[in-house]
Structure 1
Amino acid sequence: MLSAEMTTAALDATAFVHWQDLGLSPVALDLGFFQLRWYSLAYLAGILIGWWYLLKLIAQPGAPMARRHADDMVFYATLGILIGGRLGYVLFYRPEYYVANPVEILQLWDGGMSFHGGVIGVSLGILWMARRNGLDWLRIHDYVACCVPFGLFFGRLANFVNGELWGRPTDVPWAIVFPTGGEVPRHPSQLYEAGLEGILLGIVLWFLFWKTDARYQPGKLVGTFILGYGLSRFLVEMVRQPDAGLENLSWGLTMGQTLTVPMIVGGIYLIATAKARRQRVAPIAGDQSVA
């Protein structure tokens, strides 16, 4: 049942922008027999641009891996994003539904990916690749973390284009009435996340990498990333509509907020201990210390 506030907002919904009037469509290309969705293009763009940026990062002195390792990293990261992200969504958000409909687990094109699951998947991929090649897994995490905001930015924009993962009812001037959210103006929380997790966090990591010696303190960059993401997601969850049944868990948080708590704690720990791990780092191509 709608609250009095939601009912009032619904009555005034005509005064707000409707998602349908923006001319958006989840489908980027429709050939009849084949549909290319913006959601898929967002993942592709995030991976390709992230790869391009990673190559820029490892071209600097003291990189923890060579070009051949970066190429392998893209493969493992892609698997981690797809498998970890999907399984994370299935396990964290809708386990009962997918137990009853297991075939739909494979329907990635319909959306439903967990960033937290993707982080776990990518981390496992990095650990596997680093161990196989005798590389420093934590420093590789630092470099990969700098590339992730690209994917987050495009992914959140795709959520907006899909008209999904909208926010709670509100009467702020920029509220939007989403087709699957009822005749109620809502926070465009997807855009908030694109700005915080994609743009702002990306700028912070860019500054730390290029303007400070953070890359010589293993764990500082990835710690900054997971702390920044955790705080951003925790705050946005206050205006984002949680999945049904996961709004207010017994401990007072949403599922999204709950999953960010270990990220926030872990990020603070990695940043606080990074300076103690500082090391003299040699370039891949030689043995002269650069730090």
Structure 2
Amino acid sequence: MSLIDGFIYWNVSPVMFHIPGTSVSLTWYGLMWALGLIISRQVGLYIFLKEDRYTVNLPALFLMIVVPAIVGARLGHFLFYDLHALVSNPFVVVNPPFHGLSSHGGVFGILIGVYIWCRRNHAEYLFVIDRLALVAISAGACIRFGNLMNSEIVGVPADLPWAFIFAHVDQLPRHPAQLYESVFYTVFFLFMLYVWHTHAHHLRSGIILGMILTILWTFRFVVESVKENQSAFEHDLSLNIGQILSIPYIMAGVALILLRKSKYTVRYSK
């Protein structure tokens, strides 16, 4: 990374290092995915142990988050951005390299996976998803930083002092949209962790999820306006696919807050 013509010249290799004598390499993106999973798992453990609810089968819960998240993100990418490839060859979903993950699809996968776990363990769905939505923000921050290291999901051209020239893409200064998201998610995660720590004991289940859905996806709707479209067909749309897919999450968040708002409820019993 250096400065050229007043812009940040981003020429970072996506590969951290190659393992000598093999074709195996460690990428920044893979590292950030792993770091996101580790951080979110540890924060999740802390939250559930602190509240002392549903602590018996937590390993299975985290498994029901990770697997559906990856499957949903992979399927979502092809359903939303490359349907032709999926129809032509359904096995493209499992064919390496695994480029192309949709966060909208990943969130939907998590919602389904957690619902299945809650049914099996007789757990309150909204309570569990409240806490998991919170920890998922930290994973999102890591993954978006991984996108930055990969020089992918770049922003549109911009004449700003903090614009990045992504050398692996072209020589145009662009919005570092991945960095915008990573920084926002980090700050938002800390804010929501504070909300949980100070208010969760008397907020109705679903309020935290409603806040996260509304605020996070509103930000996503806005930041999508400075991103390059991921598929050519989006050029003919007034809103890109990322913005269109953010609207249902925003509406769901507002609806949850309104439905569960009855201000405060009594402290739950264990």
Task: Normalising by structure 2, report the TM-score.
Answer: 0.90
Q: Which amino acid aligns with 2:206?
A: G
Q: Which amino acid aligns with 1:139?
A: F
Q: Which amino acid aligns with 2:167?
A: P
Cα distance in 1 for residues equivalent to 2:125 and 2:152: 35
2:10 maps to 19
2:59 to 50, 53, 71: 71
Q: Which amino acid aligns with 2:213?
A: I
| CA pair 16-213 structure 1, distance change in 2 beyond 3 A | closer
Q: How far off is 1:103 after superposition? A: 4.6
**1:1-291 alignment, distance < 5 Å:** 15-20=6-11, 24-31=12-19, 32-61=22-51, 63-66=52-55, 68-100=56-88, 102-107=90-95, 109-196=97-184, 198-213=185-200, 216-250=203-237, 252-276=238-262, 278=265, 280-283=267-270
| CA pair 180-91 structure 1, distance change in 2 beyond 3 A | farther
1:203-260 CA distance string (max 9 Å, x none): 221121011136641101111111122111111011111213244454x211100000
Cα distance in 2 for residues equivalent to 1:133 and 1:126: 10
1:19-75 CA distance string (max 9 Å, x none): 21xxx22122311321222222222211111111111111223x5411x32211110
What's the RMSD between the two structures over aligned residues? 2.1
Cα distance in 2 for residues equivalent to 1:254 and 1:215: 39
Q: How far off is 1:178 after superposition? A: 1.4
For structure 1, the residue ranges without an aligned partner over 5 or more in a row are: 1-12, 284-291
| CA pair 163-215 structure 1, distance change in 2 beyond 3 A | farther
Q: Would you say the 8 A contact 1:88–1:117 is kept in 2?
A: yes
Q: Which amino acid aligns with 1:54?
A: G
| CA pair 206-246 structure 1, distance change in 2 beyond 3 A | farther
| CA pair 58-270 structure 1, distance change in 2 beyond 3 A | same
Cα distance in 2 for residues equivalent to 1:228 and 1:281: 26
Count of equivalent residues: 264
Task: Normalising by structure 1, report the TM-score.
Answer: 0.84
Q: Would you say the 8 A contact 1:168–1:241 is kept in 2?
A: yes
1:108-135 CA distance string (max 9 Å, x none): 6543111110111111110100001111
**Stretch of structure 1 that moved more, 103-112 or 116-125:** 103-112
Percent identity reads 28
For structure 2, the residue ranges without an aligned partner over 5 or more in a row are: none
